């Protein structure tokens, strides 16, 4: 008997959540049944167990990462993404090394000890430029972690960035299923190439983050089950998930966005499957609901990634419509987050916040 037995819900599904808690994994068929049959009571039960794991390993601390969106040029044409190559309405920008270092300085003063350099796949930033940037940041802030999120690169390039001092790499697998992957991406991109990058990053020694969108066009519970199996196998240090949100200048403009409810449910499942993993309550989650990020923390998440990009370019890094915090200065974002986390009994932690999932 668990301490949380005052819920009414389908016994067979409660049993699956208990099995997940005990064994940290489920079969594909079990994932599908659990995701398909979920109810509000089952979700509450899941979140209660997810918070027990979250607090066992990370207490009530929420790690912050300073996100620097340094270029919105992208050579790719992902069908869901607002900065896809063929969106001629996107106003393109690049930050200089000087701009980026100034974001880091602001961030450091605000207590950030992780900088996430995220951008489209932009050939302007050659390996040499990236190595210079990483070297400079690590030289100025040796107590900080540098996270890269710049897409698919060769093993060699990943190794060069790592040798220059990059600690972590975020690359969502987006969806594990090859057919589903090909519905969301141009033919030049494949699920297997994506997954190979993730294995390469792990082999080199990065702390790796993967993830997927919830409710992306044509996604089924079976796809989500495959995502869970893949993530279990990859055993990453971080998993970033958020609802798909349509962008008006993409082929998916008229698709419905993913739901808050399913995103929270998947966060809870991830926390039970990989108890020590880092789980961000993402900006997309905060965009589909005013308290999305707080609800994410209460479903098991333990990271938030506020924006450190200069206010002048914020609204141009528009992966989806209505993205939040595009008007705030970094300091405002940081202060609001602090207040939001405290309103639910959590607090922001100033630390590198390395994953306990090794």
- The tokens for 39 are 């109810």
**Least spacing, CB of residue 164 vs ligand 5AD, in Å:** 22
Other residues' Cβ atoms within 10 Å of the Cβ of residue 186 = 13
User: Which is closer to ligand 5AD, CB of 68 or CB of 245?
Assistant: 245
Find out whether 260 and 285 touch, Cβ atoms under 8 Å.
yes
SS3 105: helix
**Least spacing, CB of residue 46 vs ligand 5AD, in Å:** 23
Find out whether 176 and 230 touch, Cβ atoms under 8 Å.
yes
User: Which is closer to ligand 5AD, CB of 119 or CB of 268?
Assistant: 119
Other residues' Cβ atoms within 10 Å of the Cβ of residue 154 = 11
Q: What are phi and psi for residue 55, nearest 5 degrees?
A: -75, -30
Q: What are phi and psi for residue 25, nearest 5 degrees?
A: -155, 160
User: Which is closer to ligand 5AD, CB of 80 or CB of 265?
Assistant: 80
Binding site for ligand 5AD (CB under 6 A): 80-81, 172, 174, 213, 242, 244-245, 247, 284, 319-320
User: Which is closer to ligand 5AD, CB of 81 or CB of 189?
Assistant: 81
- The tokens for 113 are 């000890």
User: Which is closer to ligand 5AD, CB of 57 or CB of 92?
Assistant: 92
Tokens 């040029």 label which residue?
Answer: 73
Tokens 């020694």 label which residue?
Answer: 205
**Least spacing, CB of residue 157 vs ligand 5AD, in Å:** 18
Return the closest-CA partner of residue 300 out of 350, 346, 232, 336: 346
* Pairwise CA distance, residues 323 & 300, whole Å: 23
207-214 β-sheet, strand order: 66-71, 114-119, 145-149, 168-170, 207-214, 238-243
User: Which is closer to ligand 5AD, CB of 213 or CB of 301?
Assistant: 213
User: Which is closer to ligand 5AD, CB of 245 or CB of 277?
Assistant: 245
Largest CA distance in the chain: 59
**Least spacing, CB of residue 75 vs ligand 5AD, in Å:** 15
Find out whether 118 and 319 touch, Cβ atoms under 8 Å.
no
Other residues' Cβ atoms within 10 Å of the Cβ of residue 345 = 9
**Least spacing, CB of residue 80 vs ligand 5AD, in Å:** 4
**Least spacing, CB of residue 111 vs ligand 5AD, in Å:** 24
Return the closest-CA partner of residue 216 out of 256, 176, 261: 256
**Least spacing, CB of residue 215 vs ligand 5AD, in Å:** 9
User: Which is closer to ligand 5AD, CB of 81 or CB of 238?
Assistant: 81
**Least spacing, CB of residue 21 vs ligand 5AD, in Å:** 28
**Least spacing, CB of residue 277 vs ligand 5AD, in Å:** 17
Tell me which DSSP letter residue 248 carries: T
Distances (CA, A) of 188 to 76, 194, 222, 355: 8, 11, 24, 33
Measured from each CB, the residue nearest to ligand 5AD is 320
User: Which is closer to ligand 5AD, CB of 167 or CB of 174?
Assistant: 174
């Amino acid at each position: 008997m668990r301490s949380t037995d005052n819920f009414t819900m389908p016994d067979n599904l409660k049993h699956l959540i208990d099995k997940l808690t005990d064994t940290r994994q489920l079969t594909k068929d079990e994932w599908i049944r659990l995701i398909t049959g979920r109810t509000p009571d089952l979700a509450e039960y899941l979140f209660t167990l997810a918070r027990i794991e979250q607090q066992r390993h990370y207490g009530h601390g929420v790690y912050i990462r300073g996100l620097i969106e340094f270029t919105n040029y992208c050579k790719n044409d992902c069908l869901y993404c607002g900065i896809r190559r063929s969106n001629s309405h996107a106003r393109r920008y690049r930050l200089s090394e000087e701009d980026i270092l100034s974001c880091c300085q602001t961030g450091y003063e605000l207590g950030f000890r992780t900088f996430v350099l995220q951008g489209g796949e932009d050939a302007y930033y050659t390996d040499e430029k990236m190595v210079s940037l990483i070297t400079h940041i690590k030289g100025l802030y040796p107590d900080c972690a540098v996270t890269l999120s710049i897409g698919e690169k060769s093993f060699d390039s990943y190794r060069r960035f790592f040798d220059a001092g990059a600690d972590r790499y975020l690359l969502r697998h987006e969806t594990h299923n090859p057919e589903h992957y090909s519905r969301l991406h141009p033919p030049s991109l494949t699920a297997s190439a994506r997954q190979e990058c993730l294995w390469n990053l792990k082999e080199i020694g990065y702390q790796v983050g993967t993830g997927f969108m919830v409710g992306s066009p044509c996604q089924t519970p079976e796809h989500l089950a495959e995502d869970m199996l893949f993530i279990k196998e990859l055993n990453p240090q971080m998993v970033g998930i958020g609802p798909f949100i349509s962008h008006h200048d993409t082929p998916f403009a008229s698709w419905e966005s993913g739901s808050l409810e399913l995103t929270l449910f998947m966060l809870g499942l991830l926390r039970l499957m990989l108890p020590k993993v880092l789980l961000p309550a993402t900006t997309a989650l905060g965009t589909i609901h005013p308290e999305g990020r707080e609800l994410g923390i209460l479903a098991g998440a333990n990271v938030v990634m506020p924006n450190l990009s200069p206010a002048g370019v914020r609204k141009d890094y528009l992966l989806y419509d209505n993205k939040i915090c595009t008007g705030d200065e970094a300091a405002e974002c940081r202060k609001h987050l602090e207040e939001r986390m405290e309103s639910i009994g959590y607090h922001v932690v100033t630390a590198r916040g390395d994953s306990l999932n090794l």
